[in-house]
Amino acid sequence: MSKNAQENGTIERIKEAVKEEKYAIEKFPLLELPDLVRETVIRLMDPIEIFDFSQCSKRMRRTVKRSVRHKTYHLYLQAGKMYQIALYPAIYPEKKEKQAIFRVRKLNGDARRDPIYDRNLGNFQKIHGRFQESVLYLCHKSHFEITMALVAELMNLMTIKFHQVRMFLDAVENRDHRPLVEWLNGFPDGIKSTHISGDLVSNENMVDLMQTYQCSQTLRFFGRLDGFKIDHLPLKATDLSIAHTHWMTVDNVLQLDNVITFRLENARHFSDTDFNFILKRIISGALPKMVLAHFIPGRTYNRAVICQDIPMVRENSDRVFSRFPKVQIEDVGGFHFNLDNGDLGSIFFYTNVRAGMTLKGIGVIEKTIFCEHYSIHQTAQKHHEIEENLIKTTSSRFPLKSKRAPLKYRPEHHITARQRRAEEDWKKAERRRNSAETGHQNVKKCPGKRKNREHQRCSKRRKGCD
């Protein structure tokens, strides 16, 4: 090839690049703005608009990535028949703001008839997409792979913190959760909260899920799991809640070595003797990391059997506990007891009434057991540091954040109601005696020797007012 031909080829490529640049500017006038103004405009965009704008070209992608690199969002994932990704600003839920929602579903005949806009995402070409009510729908035959690519692209563009995932195992394709669990285990910072539900999951698959899913923070099980059994419970979550515990045994409860706070509902198959045994093991040092437990047997029980052979001192207090916001648990009587490590604990029996329904159970805060009908509260001051660390590692809805259940240990919180009323009556009587001695009540201090009306009234009642 001659030298002139090479030069002509270079010139042609330059002309084509300039032509593409002019076309991009005509299509996106935003690129004509100064850098600082353009970055400000992009930061004010909705996450869906930011994502769409970044997929137009490599230059757009670099521009978006540079503009929103310091923008932080919390990611909520819902996995089931379709996958839904919701991005919330970092200020949520303190300040309610509209979330950005991406929904990825299986491509079928109905989706093919929808108005489509082909999109490219990573190695996937011509993805069917459409907007509907501020939601971006993406349809593809490999919808799980598209979800993984979408999350990876969003994390590459902006700062994403994986806040919550909800797994609907009965609706997962082929009821095979293994690819999903392997993908979730790959996130280096982990997932803050996980909700798992499914009534038709086989015993083998559920055991595999509990053994392989590396959730180290908040874990919620809502499935009924009829016929499910497991000898060893290898859960690593620090905040555990199980809605249907008919499959659990006393040994399973005492195997929760990593749990800091846990909640067991529908635990009516546990007898009063079982609760007594669990309480004795907790007092003797079992579950050393546990600071909050909440049992809900949903039945009546015998306090004497639960507290059998445990030396306790009666205490009447007005304390109120709440496991979740807007759900208050009224204390109806408690007892102090000593732990084997020298700390002071207390067990409370209460009833929680909401929505016209009376719930009865058990629970524990810092070695505190609640049973909607009874709970334990360890009041040692040195466990305040454990509480603060718990708040940082567990759900933001932790009950001790309530204003009515303060974090810091204060002795006045453990004064009985009768003692408090007697102290108030004594203070009132003391004030009356002091007023009788001075000879005038409800009179402000005289403002020096200034001759005003107030001073004159005061001097009539008491001579020699200074």
Does 251 fall in a domain? no
Does 257 fall in a domain? no
How is residue 217 annotated by DSSP?
S
89 and 144 part of one domain: yes
Mean pLDDT by 10 residues, the chain (466 residues): 58 68 61 80 86 82 86 91 89 67 81 59 78 83 90 91 92 86 90 90 88 89 85 87 90 89 86 90 84 77 83 62 48 67 70 47 47 40 41 41 37 53 76 70 48 52 49
Query: Distance (Å, rounded) from C-alpha 377 to C-alpha 321?
Result: 10
297 and 349 part of one domain: yes
58 and 107 part of one domain: no
Does 311 fall in a domain? yes
80 and 217 part of one domain: yes
Count of all residues that appear for the chain in the document: 466
> What is the domain extent for residue 57?
22-70
Classify 14 as helix, strand or coil.
helix
330 and 185 part of one domain: no
* pLDDT for res 384: 42
Does 12 fall in a domain? no
Domain boundary among 201, 218, 237: 237
Task: Give the E-state strand segments of 275-429 in sequence order.
Answer: 292-295, 313-315, 320-324, 327-338, 344-354, 357-359, 361-365, 368-377
66 and 174 part of one domain: no
Does 84 fall in a domain? yes
90 and 191 part of one domain: yes
299 and 405 part of one domain: yes
Does 269 fall in a domain? no
332 and 224 part of one domain: no
How is residue 173 annotated by DSSP?
G
Does 419 fall in a domain? yes
Q: Which two tokens stand for residue 336?
A: 């102090």
- Number of separate domains in the chain: 3
Q: Is the separation of the CB atoms in 307 and 347 below 8 Å?
A: yes
371 and 390 part of one domain: yes
Amino acid at 333: G
Query: Distance (Å, rounded) from C-alpha 387 to C-alpha 394?
Result: 10
Amino acid at 181: V
Report the number of secondary-structure helices (H) and strands (E) in the chain: 14, 19
* pLDDT for res 334: 64
* pLDDT for res 43: 84
* pLDDT for res 19: 64
183 and 290 part of one domain: no
Q: Please choose, from the candidates 325, 262, 264, the residue with its C-alpha nearest in 3D space to the C-alpha of residue 291.
A: 262
228 and 84 part of one domain: yes
* pLDDT for res 183: 94
Q: Which two tokens stand for residue 372?
A: 């909607």
* pLDDT for res 355: 39
Domain boundary among 35, 70, 105: 70
Does 16 fall in a domain? no
